[in-house]
Amino acid sequence: MGQKVNPIAFRTGVMQGWKSRWFASKKDYADLLFEDQRIRKFIGGHPDEKIRQKYRNAGIDRIEIDRTRDEVKVTLFVARPGLIIGQKGQEVEKLQEELQNLVGRRINMKIEEIGRPELRAQLVAEDIADQLAKRSSFRRTMKRALESTMEAGARGIKVQLAGRLGGAEMARREKAIQGSIPLSTIRAKIDYGFTEAKTAQGHIGVQVWINNGFYEENESDVANAAEGQAPKKSKKAYKR
């Protein structure tokens, strides 16, 4: 039987950099790891319903955390940064203050814009989940997601939904694939996203895999990953 592995965890430290970059002694390590988790959960599931919905609409792809002795640098990679920054940067300052109160350290917030949200698996998964929550047809939603991602320049995409699809009595799985998804090839740039669509009949799990080509052999991704840096973007397609 096939053993499923998270494609991002599979490549971390080999072809990709880490999402948290810091060093700590054995004594402090667990506390700082838990603190990172609290920061991510707070941003992803803000206690205020309106702000939580606003952040979801902004399309947060990932959160990266760097630590120095004095401060914690939190970088948000966002599809629509204007929603998080707000007028004259008021919203981002408010979030920075809330995080400082949460962890008791100085926080340095940075917002980075994502060029093509259609190629980010987490954002595609969240978009599908939003459509399903609005009672859209799951087959039509999957087809639209596949087409828009392939048009944006992806090499392949796979979408899998699991749950009471279309309000059916019995839960089931539906899968759609377009292009190639070489999950076992570590050199392949496979992005993975997961979220849950909250429907009236129950939760529907949404999984998305996107193939963005290959890491080039001459790229120093392994060295960059070892240093805790994100890999450089490839300029030309991989040739066999």
The CATH classification number of 121-214 equals 3.30.1140.32
Evaluate the CA torsion angle 130, 208, 1, 178 in order and state its sign: positive
In whole angstroms, what is the distance from residue 190 CA to residue 209 CA? 7
In whole angstroms, what is the distance from residue 133 CA to residue 93 CA? 31
pLDDT less than 70: residues of the chain: 1-2, 217-240
Longest CA–CA separation in the chain, Å: 55
pLDDT number for residue 234: 47
pLDDT number for residue 128: 93
The pLDDT tens digits for 61-89 are: 889 999 988 889 999 998 888 888 888 87
pLDDT number for residue 225: 47
Q: Could you say which of 3.40.50.2300, 3.40.50.300, 3.40.50.1970, 3.30.300.20 is the CATH number of the domain covering 20-113?
A: 3.30.300.20
Is 13:225 a contact under the CB 8 Å cutoff? yes
Question: In the chain, where are the structural domains located?
Answer: 20-113, 121-214
pLDDT number for residue 1: 65
pTM: 0.82
pLDDT number for residue 217: 59
Q: Which amino acid is at 71?
A: E
The pLDDT tens digits for 116-154 are: 889 999 999 999 999 999 988 999 999 999 999 999 989
Tokens of 147: 């087409």
In whole angstroms, what is the distance from residue 215 CA to residue 237 CA? 9
Integer angstrom CA distances of residue 85 from 110, 138, 164, 188, 234: 10, 33, 37, 34, 30
Q: Return the C-alpha torsion angle 215, 216, 220, 225, nearest 10.
A: 10
